[in-house]
Structure 1
Amino acid sequence: MIERLNGGQQRHRKLTLISAAAGFGKTTLAAQWLGECSRPAAWLSLDEGDNDPARFLAYFVAALRTVAPNAGEGALGVLLAPQLPPIEAIMTPLINELAEIEPPFILILDDYHVIENELIDRAMIFLLERLPSRMHLVIVARKDPGFSLAKLRARDQLTELRAADLRFTAAEAGGFLHRTMGLELSPDNAAALEARTEGWAAGLQLAAISMRDRQDVDGFVRTFNGTHPYVVDYLIEEVLRRQPDSVKSFLLQTSVLERMCGPLCDAVLDVKGDEPDGQTMLQELERANLFIVPLDDERRWYRYHHLFADLLRRRQQGPDAAELRVRASVWHENNGDELEAFRYAAAAGDIDRAARLIEGSGMPLLFRGAAMPVLEWLNSLPKRELNTRPSLLVLHASALLFVGRMADVEPRLQAAEAAIAGATPDERGRDLIGHIASIRATLAVARHQADEIAKQSRRALAYLHPDNLPVRTATTWALGYACHLRGERAAAGRAYAEALAVSDRIGHYIVGVMSAIGLGNIQETDNRLELAETSYRDVLRRVGDAPLPAVCEAHLGLARIGYERNDLEAARQHGQESARFAPLLESTDRALACELFLARLRRAEGDRGGAAAAAARAELLARQHGFAHRLPEIAAVQAELLLSEGDAEAAAERVRPYELPLSQARICLAQGEWSAALDLLETLGERAKEENREDERLRATILEALARQAAGDGKQALNRLRDALALAEPGGFVRIFVDEGEPMRRLLIEAHSRGIKRGYIAKLLGAFRSALPAAQALIEPLSERELEVLRLVEQGFSNQEIGERLFLALSSVKGHNRNIFDKLHVRRRTEAVARARELGLL
């Protein structure tokens, strides 16, 4: 069998499956093989509790780190999230890290038959399809895994060992009974036992233990029937009956433990000073081959053979077992493992203790990636227990919120309020009222309901206990988000900063990330691009390589900043990363925001069709998912695209339902209504200054400069441009000027000639020269006379009428038209007007 296992390695197969019923020596074989194999190996023993994907992946990474100490750094970060992203998003960066491990290595997943979670099976499929060439996966299980093996078989990527391969031959049985179990049996008796157990290793082991100290070995062998349905129960009865009372008691009482170490056993058994300590007992059990399996090389942690443990637990039921589990819970809590402490309290039926442990010491288990086990326990409780305990109802609502079951949250909150109605709330009751309000604030965040978020957040902060920092901090962030939605940027910034500081102090990972994103948003709209970039990069630092969906917003912020600085390659890369994570943020408008950014980027690249398609996709998402608050922004982008095509009337129709003064001012400029445009821009600029809306103020100032230039007021145009440059230079803005096209370029040239911010303007003019793709750039600029002719063409005048207005012969007008068409790469007057608008010449 060792040769077959080695053969799978030599043929570079991806997976080895060792599958057979309990007791066939699967784990022993794998351990023996690894002992003879030169490759480093990681070993993960699984149990039923590992069906939680977060827990499974945490142990998965921990096992890998025994081979590569830094493996899975990013994945560990995302496992702290209250809601895991899709399993493929977690596995992708992990697989990339595994590919960097230099020596070929093996990963063993022992007892995989306990895994019944489809997400974990999907993770394994995803891993096997992309398995790095230096990694080999081994699955040891009592049954085949839940995913299909057909493709691996067809591609010769699978080595399989099954019960028929694992059965002992007569010679092997004799060797095992003699060398391992220390029995001196005749060849006939060894062969008889092998035949009656059908080579089943556990059966041979159980028989051997039963035969110790027996005088009539021949009689035992004659009466032993390895195929009898109760043989296992019979043999374990025989094994237990022959053990000293101290060993029997130890076995039965510690059977309630999934994993055990010496100090844990001492606590559960309440060991006194004159009794053998747990570590000694565990080592003696291992030496006696009493179905105990070491879980680490240091022989600190152990577990019982599953079959043995099941039968021991069948004998150890009732109040005593519950008390033992409570002791295990206390030990785990005292040793800092509150999740395991909760699991044992829940198994013991100690509702009060389990509920207290969920709240955690400083940080609730819900905020530490344990939403699923908490929710499963709460779902298992009788309704009468839940309905009479408002604290459990609130926990239930919170757990449902964490796993995204929004529709189920409010009924639990209402039930909790009904349970506490009529009673004068004490300190604990007030905190529950505050927690209910905080949950409702979070529900309103998902719906972008600013007033409801603010109302519930303020109520929560008024009732929550001052020491309930995790919930208070999450509520503070929600209040900041409400202020942000309402345009109260200073208040939002203060709330985000406070939430960030407290989160860092108490280790509230998710709220820390969200607060840093919020701060970056505020800094960006305040035109403080350098600070915003620092905040967004801080988010990426906090998250690391973990595929936390929240990084979508950080990448989108960096994309916008890259765009404004005219670093279109960086903008494109961050935009792509943001779009990759956006679908993972269900029930949010992040995918829509990515499409809007893509529309701006495509327009800058000269791809008008791509820009229009992205804007259309954004509008479709808004209408499909009810993101009505984004429709005005979408309309503004679409209006700019229509204006670039020379269709001011369609642009006006597009923005008519909304109050969009910047868009309306642009339309007025396109229609030659300078006075109306200036009225709009002056009002907008003054209001933006009063309300500290620096982004709107900058855009209004830039557009006012262009409006005054178009109206013939060159002096005021330069003054307003000077103001805009002063606002934009600290943030390093470039595209905000370049996107205004040729009129802005001419105004900047004029400002440069007058000594206005020459260094900054030189940078901007350099960006103008590289702003358009080479295929779209003018071979030769239009002369002033050609621009005059083009403006009259735009207004619809005939060649004859243009000649009369400019005092030119008809042949001269036609000559100018030919030059204009050649320089713009067009053939018709309408095409010339549209092209000129696209290039910003009109």
Structure 2
Amino acid sequence: MDEEDRDPVRFLTYLFAAMREVGIDAGEGILGTLQTSRPLRLEMILAALLPKIGVTPEPFILVLDDYHVVDSKTMDDAVAWLIEHMPPQMHLVIVTRQDPDLPLARLRVRDELTEVRTNDLRFTTSETAEFLGTVMGLSLSEEDIVLLATRTEGWIAGLQLAALSMQGHPDASGFVQSFTGSHHHVMDYLVEEVLQTQPVNIQDFLLHTSILDRLSGPLCDAVFHMEAGNQEAASRFGQDMLEYLERANLFIVPLDNMRHWYRYHHLFADLLRKRLHQRIIQNKEKGVTDIAELHIRASAWYEDNGLVMEAFHHAAAAHDVDRAVRLIEGGGMPLLFRGAITPILNWLESLPQTELDARPSLYVMHASALLMAGQMKEVERKLQAAEHALQGAGQAMKTPDLIGHMASIRAALAVSRHQADTILAESRLALEHLHQGNLPVRAATMWSLGYAHQLQGDHAAAGLAYSEALSISRKIGHLIITIMAELGLGNIREADNQLRAAAGAYQQVLGLAGDPPLPAACEAYLGLARIAYEWNDLDTAEQYALRAFQLAQQFEDTDRAVACEVFLAKLKLALGEWREAAAVLARADRSARQQHFLNQIPHIAEVQVLILLHQGDVEEADRLAQQYGLQFSKARVHLAKDHPTAALDVLETLRRQAEANNREDERLKVMVLQAIALHGNGDKIKAVKRFADALALAESEGFIRTFLDEGAPMKGLLREAAGYDIMPNDLGRLLTAMEAEGLEIEDEPDRRSAQAGKLLIEPLSNRELEVLRLIAQGLSNREISERLFIALTTVKGHNRIIFDKLQVKRRTEAVARARQLGLL
């Protein structure tokens, strides 16, 4: 590990690569999380990785080497969490020069910690003798060996450096006698000795390549710029040199089995860099290559080989701001959109204000990075600094694209606050000024525009904006905007009562989000939960909702987890678990108020009204409905008070609003409640007609809960509608669902007595009754096979037997006959 591994994205990238070495694939979902624009919570991402580890059959060891250089509380907390939760086949080794800030005392008490400390690592005199003689090929007296072991205190690095210095030394014993000083002074002296004993070209190679964190032959060739008449020999020089250094034990460590990548021992690299710096200062007038030039060479090589993040790192080290900016912009896909937020933020914060004032685009870049990091408070200040710098720079610097980018960032800020008017104004300004080729920012802006239209209820405009954002993001491979645009389209279709199309969009998101999925997939799972709920598949709805809640908890500073809990409370209520529903809702209410998610409070109050009505507390339900202006809740309260005329007045206003705004979901709810209110008002013919209209609107999409959730008032309406020949299949599906909830629809006495005499010659089996109930719910043969986990041909066979026993030829006849016989 090194200091840059404080960045969660970098740390997780290397961790997942290490896991793949033992056959544990993190999956596209977890890897995709690294591209998200939201702050990463390491513990949540590690939690998503644990199931992958849990199914690994063989034990393995994860080693975090040089852990001390990271020095990050965030990393310490994540590693402590991992230690607490890792499966038994996983073992963790931490190599560090100082005690990490981990719960070591607790681990000792539990006997879960093995410690190998300085005294354990020191070479004994016999080990020193074996190392010097066998490994380093030195022939020393026992007295010299004991003295050398004492002087180095058994420190292997010091012994190795001393041995390298003594190789070929005319007076090895005299060298040992003069070997004194502390470790740091000894290292300085010995590196000097080691370097001086090497040929000049090797000394130059070591010094020039010391700027690299990782070494490969071609990279070293690019940095060292070895001149050679033989081009083929020159192209192999770096690789040959690395292999020579490994054979000579010159503090180089291979990083892969193929010997393509190496690194220097960290302390050795530090000392080489110090020596390089001293050499450049001492020989500046002789035209010696400076450190910045070496970093630029490394940056150019990384860029040519498609490693843009590493190229940026070296450009920043060279203080080449223009090159760093170009690399961040990423040739069409900025590094910020690839998850490289922390290193870019760190670099921008290290720049002097004069550099930023000279390049207003850097302020805008800083604002964009802060937005993606979730540091909202500072974003506007950076944008204002950019505007001030632009005024000072004159009109030539006021590029339209930069103005458009600033407007896009302000639109995104308004999205987080659900401010539709501001989003619209800033998004339109952005699209007016952005360059046509700036596709990543245009895609993000189009999504913001779609969200504003959705907030305002203009679904047609929102759909067009989301579709445009989706088209652009697919073209450039911007995964996050692709997912967000698909989610937006799913939301629009769901609100337009197109449940099957919405479910398809949400499933598309899950396909993009990978396995395990990106946290952004929580919205798709929640959408699927709402649809499964509407289809009265409550078990599936609960599974989807719990998955959504788990993913939502990986986000910081969003209301998604609260939204999941509000839905779960409504689901509990449908299951008859109203106490559990109240408990879940109380927890959601606390979270919303503590975290100031005020937009969720009305949704919470709406479900609270349902619970209060279930408990018979009509007055408190009325108070809540009035307090938060919940019009649908007001109508239900009026119905609970047996004031259908007042309910109809409220519903008429809602009907006009729904039709004016083309809100199909609200229009359906209004129609259902109007039918109940008309029935309660004694206008039964109008009630049945309005109920039939609602059934027709919901027919093709399988709506059930919109009707069923109205409870006892719906019971009377269904009894009335059963006497009319209106959409018998859909009505039958609702009757079956209501009976399953314990709200049976009683038949007239003469009809029930007639049913008693109509007994089947051969009764239906339990499985046949099960199939018959699903037929009555309107499920196709394929849907029945999937629901019951049986073959399609088996379902068709059951159908033939059911039809024979009921003496009918078609499904509708089977359902009607079964109702006559009291089987449904």
Other-structure match for 1:214 = 169
CA 1:82/1:661 → structure 2, altered by over 3 Å: closer, same or farther? closer
* 3-state SS of 1:108 partner: strand
Other-structure match for 1:754 = 724
Other-structure match for 1:813 = none
CA 1:206/1:653 → structure 2, altered by over 3 Å: closer, same or farther? closer
- Cα deviation digits, residues 440-488 of structure 1 (max 9, x gap): 1111111111100111111111111111111111111111111111111
Other-structure match for 2:214 = 259
CA 1:85/1:175 → structure 2, altered by over 3 Å: closer, same or farther? same
Other-structure match for 1:460 = 430
Displacement of 1:427: 8.8
Of 496, 499, 507, which residue of structure 1 is paired with 2:477? 507
1:85 touches 1:548 (CA, 8 Å); kept in 2?
A: no
Displacement of 1:90: 0.7
**For 1:109-128, what aligned pairs fall within 5 Å after superposition?**
109-128=64-83
Displacement of 1:740: 1.7
* Pair 1:637 & 2:621 matched: no
2:38 touches 2:555 (CA, 8 Å); kept in 1?
A: no
CA 1:471/1:528 → structure 2, altered by over 3 Å: closer, same or farther? same
2:125 touches 2:146 (CA, 8 Å); kept in 1?
A: yes
> Which residue type is aligned with residue 121 of structure 1?
D
Of 187, 200, 205, which residue of structure 2 is paired with 1:250? 205
Other-structure match for 1:553 = 523
CA 1:203/1:586 → structure 2, altered by over 3 Å: closer, same or farther? closer
* 3-state SS of 2:61 partner: strand
Other-structure match for 1:366 = 336
Other-structure match for 1:223 = 178
* Pair 1:587 & 2:542 matched: no
Q: Give, in whole Å, the separation in 1 of the partners of 2:732 and 2:331.
A: 59
CA 1:57/1:618 → structure 2, altered by over 3 Å: closer, same or farther? closer
Of 361, 368, 371, which residue of structure 2 is paired with 1:401? 371
Other-structure match for 2:782 = none
CA 1:231/1:613 → structure 2, altered by over 3 Å: closer, same or farther? closer
Of 395, 405, 408, which residue of structure 2 is paired with 1:438? 408
Other-structure match for 1:195 = 150
Other-structure match for 2:14 = 59
* Pair 1:153 & 2:108 matched: yes
Of 90, 95, 99, which residue of structure 1 is paired with 2:54? 99
Other-structure match for 1:470 = 440
Q: Give, in whole Å, the separation in 1 of the partners of 2:748 and 2:721.
A: 20
CA 1:630/1:292 → structure 2, altered by over 3 Å: closer, same or farther? closer
Other-structure match for 1:170 = 125
Other-structure match for 1:235 = 190
> Which residue type is aligned with residue 251 of structure 2?
F
Other-structure match for 1:297 = 257
* 3-state SS of 1:106 partner: strand
5+ residue gaps, structure 2, are: 281-288, 750-824
* Pair 1:86 & 2:56 matched: no
Question: What is the count of residue pairs matched by the alignment?
Answer: 734
Displacement of 1:623: 4.9
CA 1:190/1:99 → structure 2, altered by over 3 Å: closer, same or farther? same
CA 1:176/1:585 → structure 2, altered by over 3 Å: closer, same or farther? closer
- Cα deviation digits, residues 638-670 of structure 1 (max 9, x gap): 444444445555444433356544334334434
TM-score for the superposition, normalised by structure 2: 0.84
Q: Give, in whole Å, the separation in 2 of the partners of 1:521 and 1:512.
A: 14
CA 1:658/1:183 → structure 2, altered by over 3 Å: closer, same or farther? closer
Displacement of 1:290: 1.0
Displacement of 1:229: 5.1
Q: Give, in whole Å, the separation in 2 of the partners of 1:201 and 1:442.
A: 56
1:203 touches 1:226 (CA, 8 Å); kept in 2?
A: no
Of 331, 341, 366, which residue of structure 1 is paired with 2:311? 341
* Pair 1:491 & 2:446 matched: no
The range that moved more, 131-140 or 373-382, is: 131-140
2:487 touches 2:524 (CA, 8 Å); kept in 1?
A: yes
Other-structure match for 1:312 = 272
1:93 touches 1:545 (CA, 8 Å); kept in 2?
A: no
Q: Give, in whole Å, the separation in 1 of the partners of 2:543 and 2:629.
A: 33
1:78 touches 1:84 (CA, 8 Å); kept in 2?
A: no
* 3-state SS of 1:159 partner: coil
> Which residue type is aligned with residue 710 of structure 2?
E
Q: Give, in whole Å, the separation in 2 of the partners of 1:637 and 1:728.
A: 23
Q: Give, in whole Å, the separation in 2 of the partners of 1:130 and 1:615.
A: 29
> Which residue type is aligned with residue 502 of structure 1?
I
5+ residue gaps, structure 1, are: 1-45, 785-842
Other-structure match for 1:836 = none
Other-structure match for 1:19 = none
Q: Give, in whole Å, the separation in 2 of the partners of 1:98 and 1:628.
A: 39
Displacement of 1:164: 1.5
Displacement of 1:582: 3.7
CA 1:672/1:113 → structure 2, altered by over 3 Å: closer, same or farther? closer
* Pair 1:411 & 2:366 matched: no
Other-structure match for 1:76 = 31
> Which residue type is aligned with residue 67 of structure 1?
V
Of 390, 395, 398, which residue of structure 2 is paired with 1:420? 390
Q: Give, in whole Å, the separation in 1 of the partners of 2:394 and 2:351.
A: 27
CA 1:426/1:538 → structure 2, altered by over 3 Å: closer, same or farther? farther
Q: Give, in whole Å, the separation in 2 of the partners of 1:708 and 1:272.
A: 94
Displacement of 1:497: 2.1
CA 1:715/1:50 → structure 2, altered by over 3 Å: closer, same or farther? same
The range that moved more, 55-64 or 144-153, is: 144-153
Displacement of 1:384: 1.8
Other-structure match for 1:706 = 676
2:420 touches 2:453 (CA, 8 Å); kept in 1?
A: yes
Q: Give, in whole Å, the separation in 2 of the partners of 1:228 and 1:136.
A: 33
Q: Give, in whole Å, the separation in 2 of the partners of 1:95 and 1:664.
A: 47
Other-structure match for 1:287 = 247
1:74 touches 1:93 (CA, 8 Å); kept in 2?
A: no
1:52 touches 1:117 (CA, 8 Å); kept in 2?
A: no
CA 1:280/1:699 → structure 2, altered by over 3 Å: closer, same or farther? same
Q: Give, in whole Å, the separation in 2 of the partners of 1:455 and 1:748.
A: 49
Q: Percent identity?
A: 54
Other-structure match for 1:697 = 667
* 3-state SS of 2:95 partner: strand
Displacement of 1:136: 2.0
Displacement of 1:581: 3.8
The range that moved more, 65-74 or 754-763, is: 65-74
Displacement of 1:438: 0.8
**For 1:691-840, what aligned pairs fall within 5 Å after superposition?**
691-772=661-742
- Cα deviation digits, residues 693-720 of structure 1 (max 9, x gap): 1101111111122222222232222221
Q: Give, in whole Å, the separation in 2 of the partners of 1:367 and 1:736.
A: 41
* Pair 1:277 & 2:232 matched: no
Displacement of 1:105: 1.9
Q: Give, in whole Å, the separation in 1 of the partners of 2:398 and 2:23.
A: 47
* Pair 1:482 & 2:452 matched: yes
Displacement of 1:171: 2.4
1:480 touches 1:493 (CA, 8 Å); kept in 2?
A: yes
> Which residue type is aligned with residue 526 of structure 1?
D
Q: Give, in whole Å, the separation in 2 of the partners of 1:237 and 1:309.
A: 13
> Which residue type is aligned with residue 141 of structure 1?
T
The range that moved more, 638-647 or 113-122, is: 638-647
TM-score for the superposition, normalised by structure 1: 0.82
- Cα deviation digits, residues 762-806 of structure 1 (max 9, x gap): 22111112225xxxx78x96999xxxxxxxxxxxxxxxxxxxxxx
Displacement of 1:329: 0.9
Displacement of 1:374: 0.8
CA 1:224/1:266 → structure 2, altered by over 3 Å: closer, same or farther? same
